[in-house]
Structure formats: structure tokens, C-alpha cells
Chain A
Amino acid sequence: MSGLPILSLAIWVPVFSGLAVLLFTGPDRNAPAARGLALAGALAGLLVTLPLYAGFDTATPAMQFVEFMPWIRRFHINYHLGVDGISMLFVILNSFITVIVVLAGWQVIESKVAQYNACFLIMSGLLNGIFAALDGMLFYVFFEASLIPLYLIIGVWGGPRRVYAAFKFFLFTLLGSLLLLLSLIYLYLAVDGGSFAILDWHQLPLSLAEQKWIFLAFLAAFAVKVPMWPVHTWLPDAHVEAPTGGSIVLAAIALKLGAYGFVRFSLPIAPDASYAFSGLIIGLSLIAVVYIGFVALVQEDMKKLVAYSSIAHMGFVTLGFFLFSPLGVEGALVQMISHGFVAGAMFYCIGVMYDRVHSRQIADYGGVVNTMPKFAAFFLLFAMANAGLPATSGFVGEFMVIMASVQFNLCVAFAAALTMILGAAYTLWMYKRVVFGAVGNPRVAGLTDITAREFLVLALLAAAALGIGLYPQPLTDVMHSSVDELLRHISVSKIQ
């Protein structure tokens, strides 16, 4: 391993590139330079994260690439970074998605180009910070700070009801964030001498009552982010108002923060409470899969439909975690990665059509395949991946979680497997109405097929979706040790 602080680079390269891009604020003639610099920054951000995979030691569950520096000594807050086989994957996924997002906004965003790209780059760095932080307060700072660029993206480049969407999101998150902060402080005080080190908290003995309160506080914070039923209603609105790039990051990365919170905080810090509340979480997850599946079926707005389908897919993630088996947890993690690519791609596909027709209503389309055959082929691939077709990444996670839930309880598996029918129904019914058929209206007749840039974005995402589907082994190889350690850890009671 080289001496380079790779995780710091993964965080600060995008952030500083973003700040540099801001220099090109101003008139339109600066836009090409801003775009070019942003792409260079995003690519550099991706490059610096690649050693994380290449140099990763799959044999150990310990944190790797660790960096440590005191930050606020008075409260023992440290700049403490490190990744295990779980968080490492999300750092890479996030950096990859950033490249996609910069490319996706290339010719589409025409106002405030520099600020737009800067927002995404800064957000990318902050999101990497969330996944790499090993200090509770550092995590909290990144967790909250990353919301600011997302607010801006929705608020500035968003649709007509962006204020309502941002307000709703704020209302949902506020309570959870405060409770999260409270439990972080409680944990700090509970350690002898005070510590914000997450790994110390993992070892901290806690009574069942303490664990339950902490678990519920975490749940309030993370459930909104996932989002779990019934605190999910902000997501469709946020997606509808966000620009395409915002939707991609929201679906691909922001939704993963909540689920990541469960793995990093709830399960290892409050294992007994996790077992005690597992029935509740499994129940909510199944409601997400079935209830949301039906709701997705009747959506008339494509973005809302995919947003609801994201909620259903994330239901599989929380379900997998709370089955407490290797297959379930790894399946949930694979589902998170896969959803990053597939949902990102679905939102991108909708964006490609929106850029041309300026509508997201299913009824405004019909027969797109006649004028955009190449696009239709890509869209079909991602629709199938969204419906969990084998050989696409969408299948792997669903398969693993369904297998794990059969072991747990056939009735739970029965409800979970309904996604096989519902997922296909809402995705392919939309696909049928949008893409198939005779040309529906003059706007569809005037469509032009995807450009080389759009082709590149779709091809990158398609390669990821197919690659994971055909050969998921490399993905699960890196998580085995960490997942085993997690499960071993939470199987031991913390009550003393």
C-alpha cells in the first residue's frame, strides 16, 4: 500500500475541483471550460478511488486505508477515516456516478453551468466523506453538509414545485437528524472519558432500554433517508422536481445513506434492540415492497413511477439486513449497488426523453421505439434490470434476499417475492405505453435518437448492470469478511 492518503483524496479532490469550477462562474462562454474542468475533476475523483479496490485486502474485516488526525481535541473529535468491504464499494460507486452525472448534464444544463457542476463535485466529496468517516461527529458533519448541495440542485435547477419538494424533504429530515445528533452525543458520553469513535461504540455495552432508545433515534434518521414506508412521501416529490443529475445522485447515492447507517450504526451499536425490532423493520420492508409496488403501478408520471419503484427496491435492502444471515445482508448490499446503477440509469433514460419532449407524463409518449431505436434498446435493458431479470444486476440482490427470506420464513418470502410480479408489471407496463406502439403524437415523431455522449453514458451504465449480473462474485468477495464480522458482532449480546 502506498503512503498516499487515498480516502482524503477521494473526499477532497472532488471538493476542490468543485471549488475550482466555481472560478468559471459567469457568462456562457465560460461554460465549456467549466464542463471540461468538472469532467476532469470527476475523472480524477474516480481514479483516486480505484486503488481502494485494487489494494483492498479481502481477508480482513478490519478498517483499511485508515487516516487519523485530531480535529477538536476538547471533545475528542477526530478526522478519522477508513473503509471496510462494505463502505469501500459505495465510495467507488459514488465516484463513478459523479462522472455519469457530469456527462449527463453536459449539453442539458445551460444556466449557471459552473455552479451546477460545482454542486455535484462538492456533494460527491462530501458523500465519500460519509462512507469513509469513522468518527461519529465527522460522519454527522458530512451527513448534514451533503444535503446543502442537494437542496441547491433541487432549489435552483429544479421544476416548478421545487420549493414544496425541498420544504417537504426538510420537514421529514429535521426530526431524524436531531435525534441522530442526540444519540451520537449520548454515545459519546456513555464511553468512559468520552469518544466519538464509531468503532468504540461498537464495543460499548448498553442495557436493552438504552439500545432501544438509540435504535429508535437512529431509525428516525435513517428510515427517512432510505426511505422506508411510511416516511417515504418526500421522495417522489423530490425526484419529480429535481433535474436529471439530481435524480441520479438522489437515487444512486443519497438513498444508500440511510441503509448504510443501519449497517454502520444501528446493527452493531444496538444489536439486541435490532433483534427486538427486527419484526417491525421486516414488516415495514414488506409493506414497502407490496404497498409501494401497487402504488407504482398507477403512476402517470414516469419519474414518480421510478421513484416509487426505488422505494420498493430499498425495501429489499432493509429486509435483507434484518434477516441476520450472510445471504440476506450481502444480498441487501448487492441490491444497494445494483440499484445505484439501475435506478440511476432509469432516471437518466427519463431525462433523455424529457430533454426532447419536456414532459414526464406517460400519456405524452407512445411509440418512441420508432424514432429512437437505440435508446429503446438501452431503456429495455434497464427496465428489465429494474424488473429483476436474471443476467442483470437487478436480479442478484433480489435473488439473494428472497433466498435468505425463505430460510427465515416462507410467509415473509411469499410477500417479498411478489416483487417478481409487481416489479415486472409496473416497469413493463410503463415501457409498453412509452416505447412500444405506433408513433403516438407529433412530438414523438420529431424525436432524434441518442447522441454519442448519451450513448456513452448509457453504455457505461449498461456495462455495469450486465457485468454485475453475469459475474457478481468479485463484488461479494470484497464484502465477505466485513459481513461475517458484522454478523458475528451482532450475534453477541451487549447487555451486561
Chain B
Amino acid sequence: MLALVSPALLVILLLIVLPVGWLAWQSIYHDGFTLENYRRVFTEDIYWRSFALTFEISVAVTIIALLLGYPVAYLANSVPKGWSILILSLVVLPFWTSVLVRAYAWLALLQRTGVINQLLRYLDVISEPLALVHNTFGTVVATVHILLPFMVLPLYATMQKIPGDLMQAGASLGASPSLTFVRVFLPLSLPGVLAGCTMVFVLCLGFYITPELLGGGRTVMVSMLVSRNVELYNQFGAASAVAVALLLSVLVIFFAVSRFISLDRILGQK
């Protein structure tokens, strides 16, 4: 058994544990032991602002992705097999386009001379173009688009495992379809909701290209601070301290969530 997993373990050790450990080490060691990098992260305003903004955006993205993703997963679950495959392929399709291309596509849609503003002006709905991008709004829209599959797929997987008989049982006991949904289906799908939300939330915390391109320079998420700090302080430690702080907050979230649901259900199917 050990012989079989050892190549994988070695890869993980070489490509994940060592580099991350090296980064973490640099954040506390630079010509001697130092907590300067952490002092900065915990005392300077801009870090707090960035972390707060990052969490706000991540919460917003998670909620919107859930509201958009749940009906899609529900539909895919309740139609015949052929249709559900089609729906899921459409959900997964954007995966084959790079994040960069998708960010530029949103730019083409949302900017002042973009499709949406042009159309609204043509229809006389607005007289001045709306500020849809180069701000937090544009960042959230594009991020939701990119992360939606991570919401839909766990939801769908969970819904698949809910026996259809239960709905019929509910109906046979006289409950209306909406009551059956609220009392039976929704509670049973909650593990999927939690799994999807955790995935989307955690992935969103580390988003870089989308806020960089669509945030107009004002939407400074934590990942952008990481890259900025390499440039600003000329040492990796200043950047890795930010990364370690983000990593720790992710671990805290995972820990909190794992008290409600086992990690197996978030990370894999059982």
C-alpha cells in the first residue's frame, strides 16, 4: 500500500509541503528571527481593509452563486438523464476557457462602450452609461461566473442521492409540492449547499486576475497584496506573511465548517 502511494506522497512533499513550508519560514526569518512581517499585517490599516473587502466579496459571491446555482442543480436533477447531461456540460463548459479570457469577455460586456451599456442606451433605458466594471460590482459578477460550477456540481451530487420516493411519500401524505420541497428536499440537500458554499468561498478568497483586471485598481483583494508586497519590500517574507495569514483564515473556516459536516463530503464524494 505504502509503495503505491509513495510517488504521490513524494510529489505532494516536493511540490506543496516544501515550497509552502519554505514560504512560511521566510515570513519569520530574514537575517534572523523576525515578526516584523506579521506586525505589519496585523497593525497597518490597508491589510485590514483588504482582508475585510476580500471576505465581503467572497460572502457576496457565495450567496449569489448559491441563489443562481441551486435552481440549476435542481433542474439538472429533476429532468431525464439526457437533459441533465446537457445542463451539466453547459455548466462545466466555461472551464475550458482561461480565467483571463473570461475576464476580458466580461470587460467587453460591461464597460462603458460595452454590449450592455450600448443596448440599454439604444433602448433609451439610460442616458448615461452605467458604471458596471472597474469596481467591486464587475469583480463580483465575473467571479460568480467563474466559480458557479464549484457550486452546481456538489449540489447536483448531493441531490442525486436524495431518493425520489421521499417526495412521493410526502405527496401521498397530503403535502403540497412546495411544502415537500421545504420540509423534505431542502434539508436533505443542505450538505451539498454547505459543500458548495465552502468551495466557492475559499476559492474566492484567493482570486487574483479577476479583481486585478475588473476592479479598476480600487478593489484590492488579499492575493493582490501578496504580489504587491514582493515588489514593495523586495523580500518574499513580506508577501508570504500575507499568504500565511490568508491560509490560516481558510483553515479556520474549514475547521469551523467541519464541525457541522465531515470534510469528506466537501472534498470528495462518498
Asked if A and B bind, the verdict is: no
Residues of A with Cβ closer than 8 Å to B? Answer: none
